[in-house]
Amino acid sequence: MNQDDKIYVAGHNGMVGSAILRKLKAEGFHNLELKSSQELDLRDQNAVRDFFDDVRPDYVFLAAAKVGGILANDTHRAEFLYDNLSIQNNVIHSSYLSKVKKLLFLGSSCIYPKECPQPMKEDYLLTGKLEPTNEPYAIAKIAGIKMCDSYRDQYGCNFISVMPSNLYGPNDNYDLKSSHVLPALIRKFHESKSAGQNKVTVWGSGNPLREFLHVDDLATACMFLMKNYNERNFINVGSGEEISIRDLANLIADIVGHQATIEFDSTKPDGTLRKIMSNERINALGWEAKISLREGIEIAYKEYLDHHNQEIVP
Ligand code: GDP
């Protein structure tokens, strides 16, 4: 990658896309193509084709997707399938037609089977049934992986896929209905503290284990892989740090400074009980995460106080 290369970051206003953009700018890349979803609806095949014909990017980071937490995935099942399939079909196929030098497609650790052996190695894809709460999203992401590999096999395209664990960081979604657990708990503990209450509700049993990765670590991994990884098989990117939802709630309570009583809402789903990824392959290539969970949540809480606290109407 040269600093003058034309780079298109699809989804640059989202948490992942904006982290990649910060990293690109910090490394001196300046020929950046950016379109908001209002300017370019990536579900619109003709609009995407026209955009690629016109712009002809050299490199594409495909970070645009419809994303959300366990409840959003479970409720908006059709949208998670249709929107994600459309976005990735259009961007990947147009990248092929306009001879993009390299494309990086982003997925998620939910592609693995519900009962997957832990830690989850890349080879375990499609060895069992998926977790029902996010099956439509996972199916779309698996299709994206297969699309990148198939375009490489048939057309020789250098398209790679990257599967991160649960992400958090700047530009996260703090809406309690659609967010993931980590931003939701930051907001819940903060609002409980601000309101002088001593109770916080945490969904499910608190027992599921999750691996969290700060999005700035993911962005460094994406840059590293864009420069160094040219293979057909997707690659995991995780922190290697696993924590139960109960312990995560206690950690956030500590960082926010609010030791409220935690009530578990058993009417909400737990989802997969455990999903820690094997980072063996990416570690062997010479990359590892740098931001610890405590440090990352401290940064996220500060960012929440600076940017989100005022905007959110409870
Ligand atoms: P998942 O990793 O796809 O299951 O996505 P989430 O981040 O939405 O949920 C992870 C786990 O945290 C699940 O077991 C949820 O039930 C649990 N959880 C506890 N409290 C919350 C909450 O307030 N919001 C969300 N989204 N999940 C929560």
Query: pLDDT tens-digit profile of 68-103?
Result: 999 999 999 999 999 999 999 999 999 999 999 999
pLDDT of residue 311: 56
Please state the atom number of ligand 1 nearest to the C-alpha of residue 272: 4
Residues 86, 231 within the same domain: yes
Q: Separation of 123 CA from ligand 1 center, angstroms?
A: 26
Quote the domain boundaries for residue 295. 181-209+242-275+291-306
Strand 242-244 to strand 209-214: parallel, antiparallel, or no bridges (unpaired)? antiparallel
Q: Is residue 314 part of a domain?
A: no
> pTM value?
0.96
The C-alpha atoms of residue 79 and residue 137 are separated, in whole angstroms, by 9
Residues 96, 230 within the same domain: yes
Which residues of the chain have a pLDDT value below 50? 313-314
Residues 91, 65 within the same domain: yes
Q: How far apart are the first and last CA of the chain?
A: 45
Residue 170 preceded by cis peptide, ω within 30: no
Q: How many domains are there within the chain?
A: 2
Pick the closest to residue 65 from 104, 20, 16 (CA basis).
Answer: 16
Residues 266, 228 within the same domain: no
Does ligand 1 have an atom closer than 6 angstroms to the CB of 245? yes
The C-alpha atoms of residue 180 and residue 183 are separated, in whole angstroms, by 6
DSSP state for residue 264 in the 8-state scheme: E
Active site residue 112: no
Residues 153, 194 within the same domain: no
Please state the atom number of ligand 1 nearest to the C-alpha of residue 184: 23
pLDDT of residue 309: 73
Which stretches does DSSP call E strand in 146-238? Answer: 159-164, 166-168, 199-203, 209-214, 235-237
The C-alpha atoms of residue 75 and residue 85 are separated, in whole angstroms, by 17
Please state the atom number of ligand 1 nearest to the C-alpha of residue 210: 2
pLDDT of residue 211: 97
Q: Is residue 176 part of a domain?
A: no
Residues 81, 217 within the same domain: yes
Does ligand 1 have an atom closer than 6 angstroms to the CB of 189? no
Question: Torsion angle, CA of 185/191/194/198, rounded to 10 degrees?
Answer: -70
Q: Separation of 184 CA from ligand 1 center, angstroms?
A: 8
Pick the closest to residue 51 from 42, 59, 64 (CA basis).
Answer: 42
Phi, psi of 4 (to 5 degrees): -90, -5
Please report how many Cα atoms fall inside a 13 Å half-sphere around the Cα of residue 80, on the Cβ side.
Answer: 23
Does ligand 1 have an atom closer than 6 angstroms to the CB of 93? no
CATH number for 189: 3.90.25.10
Q: Supply 213's token pair.
A: 């990765």
260: three-class secondary structure by DSSP: coil
Q: Separation of 47 CA from ligand 1 center, angstroms?
A: 35
The C-alpha atoms of residue 240 and residue 217 are separated, in whole angstroms, by 12
CA dihedral (25, 27, 33, 38) positive or negative: negative
CATH number for 85: 3.40.50.720
Residues 140, 12 within the same domain: yes
One-letter identity of residue 275: K
Residues 188, 116 within the same domain: no
209: three-class secondary structure by DSSP: strand
Q: Is residue 286 part of a domain?
A: no
Question: Torsion angle, CA of 82/85/12/41, rounded to 10 degrees?
Answer: -60
Residue with tokens 């956030």: 252
Q: Supply 132's token pair.
A: 């029902």
pLDDT of residue 312: 53
Q: Separation of 183 CA from ligand 1 center, angstroms?
A: 10
Does ligand 1 have an atom closer than 6 angstroms to the CB of 248? no
Which is the catalytic residue, given 137, 168, 229, 301? 137
pLDDT of residue 314: 47
| Backbone conformation region of residue 245, classed left if phi is above 0, alpha if psi is from -120 to 50, else beta | alpha
Residues 125, 137 within the same domain: yes
Q: Supply 21's token pair.
A: 């953009």
Residues 186, 83 within the same domain: no
pLDDT of residue 172: 96
Q: Supply 197's token pair.
A: 């209450």
Residues 29, 62 within the same domain: yes
One-letter identity of residue 29: F
Q: Is residue 258 part of a domain?
A: yes
